[in-house]
Structure 1
Amino acid sequence: MVVDIQPDCLGLYCGRTAEFINGTEIHGDCGVCPRGQRTDAHKICRPCMGSPERYDWLYLGFMAMLPLILHWFFIEWYSGKKSSSALFQHITALIECSVAAIVTLLVSDPLGSLHIRSCKVVMLSDWYTMLYNPSPDYITTIHCTHEAVYPLYTIVFIYYAFCLVLMMMLRPLLVKKIACGLGKSDRFKSIYAALYFFPILTVLQAVGGGLLYYAFPYIIIVLSLVTLVVYLSASEVDTFKDLLVRKKRLIVLFSHWLLHAYGIISISKLNNVYQDLPLLALVPAPALFYLLTAKYTDPSRILSDGANGR
């Protein structure tokens, strides 16, 4: 096979398209690689034929969970104690996000399959190729911006779009029929909230997608710990008995435990199953520590002990 040799291609992400003509690989001019391709070690654009790694799927799972968690939070926030529609709205939000995730995978390459082909993430700069367009003469810029982490960057935007469309199709009809315990002005507040947080999530992915890719396991663990402590404190849960009084508290506790487990799995990547799986035994530890020490940190007790001179 004869290879057409051309001068070096400048830039970290600039490459030459390859085309076979009569058994000869012909390379194009140095520039941006087509969608679904990235440069190899020889600055030639090659199609992304790999599959996402376990960590990549965990990242996509985290980005898919964000809208669902925010939906559930605002549904619970605006439903109030008088409304009996919160459960149905929670289920509807779960269906919306699940269907959106499945449809997103089906419309991704290869079309009609739940599998996707991807390029491997090598370093943080792969997420920000627009910052590495070369200027050989410091005047003319060669624009080589493309999705080097295909499709981990754009697939999240597609998923958010489907989530938004499905929410606008299903949720207003459901809320109008079953949210009888709420006033007319409060029925659609959880939907209005979604119209705010979806643009925020989109900007977050556009600007900080690469940072989230490397930091999301630690974000999950820290936020789940903080929110669990805040919830237990706000609900005045000081003992195991207080926790068992209402089923809702147990559901919130188990939900946070699932997030803890997800964060631990994301950090360890389960590269060594026999070594990493025992770490899941640490999941209940923060809640148990809080319940065992809450009575010693009660502000009223501290104030009374101070007044008594102890």
Structure 2
Amino acid sequence: MAGMKAEFLVYLLMLIWVQSNGSKYVYDPLKPITSPELIDGNISTCPGLYCGRITVYNDSNHNDFTFSQCGPCPRGESADKMSICQPCGDTPSLYDWLYLGFMVILSLTLHFFFIDYFFKEDNKTVIALHVSAFFECFLAAIISLLIVQPVGKLDLYSCGVRRLSDWYTMMKNPKPDYTTQLHCTQEAVYPLYTLIFLSYTFQLIFMMLFRPFLSVKLCKNQGKNSIYAALYFLPILVVIHAVCAGLIYYSYPHIIIIVSLVTHAVHFSRTEINTPKQLLSKKRNVIILIAHWLIHGYGIIAITRLQNPTVHASLLILVPIPAIFFIATAQFTEPNKISDYES
């Protein structure tokens, strides 16, 4: 009983101290604050990983200002250590640039595949559709870069990527008092997320402007099915990017290597390429082989990030090995020869 009285007395004393001293400042993330309060160190930072306060200037000279309540930072800004939203000024890393390039190459590869798949005649007019697809993706990427900060320059200001949750800020909205949720959803990886949406949008616009005309005038309208296919796979890519962008960002180098190896083997087996002579007999096979080599090398650069340029650049000599290995071992895996041996 004496112990319970002592605990009650301690609790009562703490309550009195909080009422007399703690009432000077009660932390409220929903309440705007003034700059002197922040400078004096009496203000706690915003809860959560992505909530911040926006600086609101009360005069034209920027001498009198306050900070807004905790919330999402504007696009192109991120919260600093004091939870004040600051403009992003980092330069994208090589890995970031390669990620943007991968998303563009992905759509370009699908354009090339469906143009080749639906084109019935083996003639040179199909090249016009391939060239059109290339310039559609290229122009879309250039214009997308020009309209984001810094506007008009082929450069980017980035907030950087620090963790997987940066891509899914909607899942990190805090509840300071376990009842009221602060909505701080924003593009923490600016501009890596929205830039892809811009690029795919411009690709669709340019495709509808140029490709139908070329298909009708030069290709006897044989390019229409590839246009229809793009009207399907571009929205699908948009949805995949919207949902899985963070996962793709951290895994795309390995995706490139694996898909490159699989498609390499599929192409060789479908075209029955078993010798170097068969490989070099058609220009189409050589072009596809070189494309695979370029993509394979792209994946190696993305994985290593060329952190040790001398060592990592030397790994590019491994690019032709899958093709060499396939041709060298094809004679041992020929189904007819295996059947004859068993019989």
Category of TM-score, reference length = shorter chain: over 0.9
| Contact 1:79/1:85 (8 A) holds in 2 | no
1:25 and 1:218 mapped to 2: Cα distance?
49
Number of positions where the alignment pairs a residue of Structure 1 with one of Structure 2: 303
Q: Distance in 2 between matches of 1:162 and 1:236?
A: 38
C-alpha offsets along residues 174-214 of structure 1, whole Å, 9 cap, x if unaligned? Answer: 0011112xxx6x54000000000001100111001011111
1-structure distance, mates of 2:106, 2:247: 16
> Cα distance, 1:8 vs. partner?
3.2
Q: Which structure has the larger Rg? A: 2
Q: Deviations over 1:137-170 (max 9, x none)?
A: 4432211000000000000000100000000000
Distance 2:122 2:77 in 1: 54
Normalising by the residue count of structure 2, what TM-score does the alignment of the two structures yield? 0.85
| Alpha-carbon shift at residue 86 of structure 1 (Å) | 1.3
CA distance in 2, matches of 1:161, 1:19: 34
Matching residue of 1:227 = 263
- 2:245 aligned residue (206, 209, 212): 209
Cα deviation for residue 260 of structure 1 reads 0.5
Q: 1:79-228 residue pairs with structure 2 within 5 A?
A: 79-180=119-220, 186-228=222-264
Matches within 5 A, 1:58-97: 58-97=98-137
| Shift of residue 114, structure 1, vs aligned partner | 0.7
Is structure 2 residue 303 aligned with structure 1 residue 272? no
TM-score w.r.t. structure 1 length? 0.94
2:12 aligns with none
What is the CA deviation profile of residues 220-271 of structure 1, one whole-angstrom value per residue up to 9, with x for unaligned ones? 0100110010000000000111101111101000000000000000000011
How far the C-alpha of 1:81 sits from its partner, in A, is 3.5
Which residue in the other structure is 2:97 paired with? 57
* In structure 1, C-alpha distance between the alignment counterparts of 2:65 and 2:316, rounded to whole Å: 51
Is 1:249 aligned with 2:289?
no
Which ranges in structure 2 are unaligned for 5 or more consecutive residues?
1-34
Equivalent in the alignment of 1:286: 322
Instruction: Indicate the RMSD between aligned Cα atoms, in angstroms.
Output: 1.6
- Tell me, in whole angstroms, the C-alpha distance in 1 between the residues paired with 2:145 and 2:71: 29
Q: Which structure exhibits the higher relative contact order, with contacts defined as CA atoms closer than 8 Å and separated by 6 or more residues? A: 1
Letter in 1 for 2:316: L
Structure 1 gap segments, 5+ residues each: none
8 Å CA contact retained: 1:75, 1:89: yes
Tell me, in whole angstroms, the C-alpha distance in 1 between the residues paired with 2:152 and 2:223. 37
For 1:217 and 1:187, locate their aligned partners in 2 and report how far apart those are by CA, in whole Å. 32
Distance 2:81 2:136 in 1: 42
